[in-house]
């Protein structure tokens, strides 16, 4: 054998493609339909009365179904965040950008969302923000109906008011 | 009354960014063969194989254990795969130990691995799901906001994470198997490394590694013929909690606290800081050292950073943490938890070489995974329980 023949094949590329059909279920369907109407719909736990946005149909804290629907506004508080500075093939947005935990007013659990319309150095815990929606004709049953959140001209929320929801 | 379980053989691979010199089964065999050699046993002495690795998406190969049983000498024997995300290396060892403790087998080979170079874990962790905006960039993107939350809650000095990273990177220089070694690394080099997921810097982050770890676990009777003093399993514990519920404390998760409490109770430990001589903790981002010190009850809530600051977690401190260099220095994800368990066992067997804690008699191995929702731990000792 020549040297080239005895060398190990060290790497070959075999791309995989994954496509999913997602069955939303009852709670996510309500939420996604709300998104298509420009509304943010959550569900209240009948036991601990906490409001879940987006709703998952149950409260994992109490182990009970959540079936009481609540609409919450598009305003909320950044409870914590990071500034993403490295690129990722699977994201549509270029770094640097701010990925924040946002606790909507009237909700009792934060979710991840993008912050725009301000420099990333100005983002802080407690900052007040609002949802920026896509144009009405582009609304659909997807979280992408909300483009991002942007700061609003309100004093920061005190740490005590959101410390349970970091 | 459960049977005693002892660790009689330990092996790990040379961890590196790309182990293109071996296939995935070859990587596992490198660790397994070393564990068998350490135990002076052969494949035929093994009764069962328990394997663990992180999610299949990380390498793009579904159920690789199906094809690997043969390479692991499991033909004609039971083989079982454990899966608990990043904590899997730990929970795999716990499941393997339970097969001995239940009296089902006398000798179990447990192995865990990841060959991160064969795919893209960052991609696998950056998935689009229909009810969330696609902005969580890998594990760092998920955990960085929790670190910021810890910093705000504890008011820890801003350089705590830099100090942890520097300690672990210096420890790695004493570990012949560590992947990331930076000779001459100093505080400024860590501090000046770029922010990846602010507040997490590049040098405060674990690398992507290819690597494997293996242990031979043995019953008390079968351990009588062991050539080297076994590490005896004093206790094991596993706990989980849901990813999302209102008021969930992801900085100091209840499942972690409960897991530690059960672990200490089973081992008869009332003062962990005093009674444990060394700990190998799953710290993929430096700030998780102080966070887990609190979660594990080594420090009061909000004060874990003091241990780092006072040097308590250094190799010569009163509770040395991650003397091997930890996950910050080698991160073959599926194996990272088992490496913590194995390094703890190496400490009480006096096998840790340059990063040995002198006279270590009891050591803790810890792993966590998912969104800080799966925990696996064990305590091993130089003496029988
Ligand atoms: Zn509830």
State the residue range of the domain holding B219.
Answer: 5-120+208-225
Q: Which of B135, B143, B193 to mutate to test binding with chain A, by most A CBs within 10 Å of its CB? A: B135
* Distance separating alpha carbons of residues B344 and B337, to the nearest angstrom: 11
Dihedral sign for Cα B280, B285, B289, B292, please.
Answer: negative
pLDDT of residue A127: 98
Could you say which residues from 30 to 69 on chain A have a Cβ atom under 8 Å away from some Cβ of chain B?
31-32, 45, 48, 50-52, 54, 56, 59-61
Minimal C-alpha gap between A65 and chain B (Å): 13
Contact A89 B195 (CB under 8 A): no
Of B135, B147, B149, the CB nearest to A99: B135
Contact A112 B197 (CB under 8 A): no
Query: In degrees, to the nearest 5, what angle opens at C-alpha B150 toward C-alphas B149 and B155?
Result: 105
Strands lying side by side in the sheet with B107-115: B79-82, B48-53, B107-115, B210-219, B5-12, B231-240, B374-381, B362-369, B278-280
Give residue-wise pLDDT tens across range B272-300: 999 999 999 999 999 999 999 999 999 99
DSSP state of B342: H
* Distance separating alpha carbons of residues B354 and B170, to the nearest angstrom: 12
Kindly state whether residue B314 falls inside one of the protein's structural domains: no
ipTM of the complex model: 0.94
- The closest of B249, B345, B271, B372 to B12, measured between CA atoms, is B345
User: Directed axis angle between helix B88-101 and helix B333-349, to 10°?
Assistant: 50
Minimal C-alpha gap between A67 and chain B (Å): 16
User: How many folded domains does chain B comprise?
Assistant: 1
Helices and strands (H and E) in chain B: how many: 13, 11
pLDDT of residue A18: 79
Question: Which residues contact residue B97 at a Cβ distance below 8 angstroms, ignoring those fewer than 6 apart?
Answer: B5, B108, B217, B233, B236, B378
Model confidence at B1: pLDDT above 70: no
The model's pTM is 0.96
Residue numbers of chain A with a pLDDT score lower than 50 = none
- The closest of A153, A150, A80 to A111, measured between CA atoms, is A80
Tell which phi-psi region holds residue A25, choosing left (phi > 0), alpha (psi between -120 and 50) or beta.
Answer: left
Percentage above 90 pLDDT, chain B: 91
Model confidence at B305: pLDDT above 60: yes
Kindly state whether residue B83 falls inside one of the protein's structural domains: yes
Mean pLDDT across chain B: 96
* Distance separating alpha carbons of residues B61 and B342, to the nearest angstrom: 26
Percentage above 70 pLDDT, chain B: 100
* Distance separating alpha carbons of residues B114 and B341, to the nearest angstrom: 16
* Distance separating alpha carbons of residues A91 and B145, to the nearest angstrom: 18
Contact B246 A111 (CB under 8 A): no
Give phi and psi for B167, each to the nearest 5.
-55, -50
Give residue-wise pLDDT tens across range B49-72: 999 999 988 888 889 998 899 999
Nearest CA in chain A to B61: A16
**Which token pair is A161?**
């008011």
**Which token pair is B113?**
């691995």
Q: Is the peptide bond before B199 cis (omega within 30 degrees of 0)?
A: yes
Average pLDDT over residues B292-317: 98
Contact A100 B145 (CB under 8 A): yes
Minimal C-alpha gap between B211 and chain A (Å): 16
pLDDT of residue A145: 96
Give residue-wise pLDDT tens across range B192-249: 999 999 999 999 999 999 999 999 999 999 999 999 999 999 999 999 999 899 999 9
Ligand 1 centre from A84 Cα, in Å? 33
Minimal C-alpha gap between B251 and chain A (Å): 8
* Distance separating alpha carbons of residues A40 and A33, to the nearest angstrom: 9
- The closest of B180, B198, B227, B206 to B288, measured between CA atoms, is B206
| Contact criterion met (CB below 8 Å) for B184 and B303 | no
pLDDT of residue B138: 85
All residues of chain B having their beta carbon less than 8 Å from the beta carbon of residue A86 are 137, 140, 196-197
Kindly state whether residue B344 falls inside one of the protein's structural domains: no
Burial of B39 (0-12, 13-18, 19+ CB in 10 A): buried
Contact B198 A83 (CB under 8 A): yes
* Distance separating alpha carbons of residues B258 and B239, to the nearest angstrom: 7
All residues of chain B having their beta carbon less than 8 Å from the beta carbon of residue A164 are 247
Query: In degrees, to the nearest 5, what angle opens at C-alpha A118 toward C-alphas A112 and A119?
Result: 100
We report the CATH number of the domain holding residue B214 as: 3.40.47.10
* Distance separating alpha carbons of residues B196 and B143, to the nearest angstrom: 12
- The pLDDT confidence band at residue B128, using thresholds 50, 70 and 90, is confident
Contact B123 A16 (CB under 8 A): no
Give residue-wise pLDDT tens across range B342-355: 999 999 999 999 99
* Distance separating alpha carbons of residues A92 and A74, to the nearest angstrom: 23
Kindly state whether residue B259 falls inside one of the protein's structural domains: no
- The closest of B195, B199, B197, B165 to B182, measured between CA atoms, is B165
Give phi and psi for B114, each to the nearest 5.
-155, 140
pLDDT of residue B301: 97
Chain centroid to CA B11: 14
- The pLDDT confidence band at residue B133, using thresholds 50, 70 and 90, is confident
What is the DSSP secondary-structure string of A119-153?
-GGG--TT-EEEEEEPPGGG--SSGGGEEEEEE-S
Model confidence at B131: pLDDT above 80: no
């Amino acid at each position: 054998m020549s040297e080239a023949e005895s060398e190990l094949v060290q790497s070959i590329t075999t791309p995989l493609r994954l496509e999913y059909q997602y069955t939303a279920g009852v709670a996510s369907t309500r939420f996604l339909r709300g998104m298509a109407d420009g509304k943010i719909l959550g569900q209240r736990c009948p036991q601990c009365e906490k409001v879940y946005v987006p709703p998952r149909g149950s409260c994992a804290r109490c182990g009970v179904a959540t079936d009481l629907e609540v609409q919450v506004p598009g305003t909320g508080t950044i409870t914590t965040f990071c500034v993403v500075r490295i690129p990722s093939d699977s994201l549509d947005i270029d770094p640097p950008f701010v990925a924040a935990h946002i606790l909507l007013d009237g909700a009792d659990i934060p979710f991840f969302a993008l912050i725009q319309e301000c420099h990333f150095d100005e983002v802080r815990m407690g900052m007040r923000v609002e949802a920026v929606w896509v144009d009405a004709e582009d609304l659909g049953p997807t979280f992408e109906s909300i483009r991002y959140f942007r700061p609003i001209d309100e004093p920061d929320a005190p740490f005590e008011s959101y410390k349970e929801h970091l | 009354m459960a049977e005693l379980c002892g660790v009689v053989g330990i092996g790990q691979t040379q961890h590196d960014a790309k182990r293109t010199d071996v296939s995935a089964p070859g990587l596992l065999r490198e660790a397994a063969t070393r564990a068998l050699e350490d135990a002076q046993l052969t494949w035929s002495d093994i009764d069962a194989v328990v394997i663990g690795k992180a999610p299949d998406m990380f390498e793009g190969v579904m159920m690789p254990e199906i094809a690997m049983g043969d390479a692991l000498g499991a033909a004609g024997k039971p083989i079982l795969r454990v899966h608990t995300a990043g904590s899997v290396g730990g929970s795999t060892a716990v499941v393997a130990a339970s097969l001995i403790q239940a009296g089902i087998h006398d000798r179990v080979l447990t192995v865990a691995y990841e060959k991160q170079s064969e795919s893209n874990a960052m991609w696998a962790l950056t998935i689009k799901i229909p009810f969330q905006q696609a902005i969580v960039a890998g594990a760092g993107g998920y955990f960085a906001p929790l670190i910021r939350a810890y910093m705000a809650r504890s008011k820890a000095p801003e350089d705590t994470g830099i100090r942890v990273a520097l300690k672990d990177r210096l420890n790695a220089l004493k570990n012949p198997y560590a992947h990331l070694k930076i000779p001459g690394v100093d505080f400024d080099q860590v501090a000046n490394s770029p922010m990846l997921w602010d507040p997490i810097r590049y040098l405060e982050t674990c690398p992507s590694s290819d690597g494997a770890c293996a242990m031979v676990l043995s019953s008390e009777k079968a351990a009588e013929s062991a050539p080297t003093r076994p590490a005896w399993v004093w206790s094991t514990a596993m706990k989980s909690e849901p990813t999302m519920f209102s008021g969930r404390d992801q900085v100091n998760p209840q499942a972690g606290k409960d897991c530690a409490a059960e672990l200490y109770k089973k081992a008869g430990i009332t003062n962990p800081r005093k009674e444990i001589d060394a700990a190998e903790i799953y710290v993929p981002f430096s700030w998780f050292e102080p966070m887990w010190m609190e979660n594990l009850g080594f420090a009061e809530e909000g004060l874990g950073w003091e241990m780092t600051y006072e040097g308590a977690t250094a190799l010569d401190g009163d509770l040395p943490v991650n003397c091997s260099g930890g996950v910050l220095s080698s991160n073959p994800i599926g194996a990272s938890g088992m490496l913590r368990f194995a390094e703890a066992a190496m400490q009480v067997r006096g096998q840790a070489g340059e990063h040995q804690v002198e006279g270590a008699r009891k050591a803790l191995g810890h792993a966590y995974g998912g969104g800080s929702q799966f925990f696996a731990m064990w305590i091993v000792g130089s003496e029988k329980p």
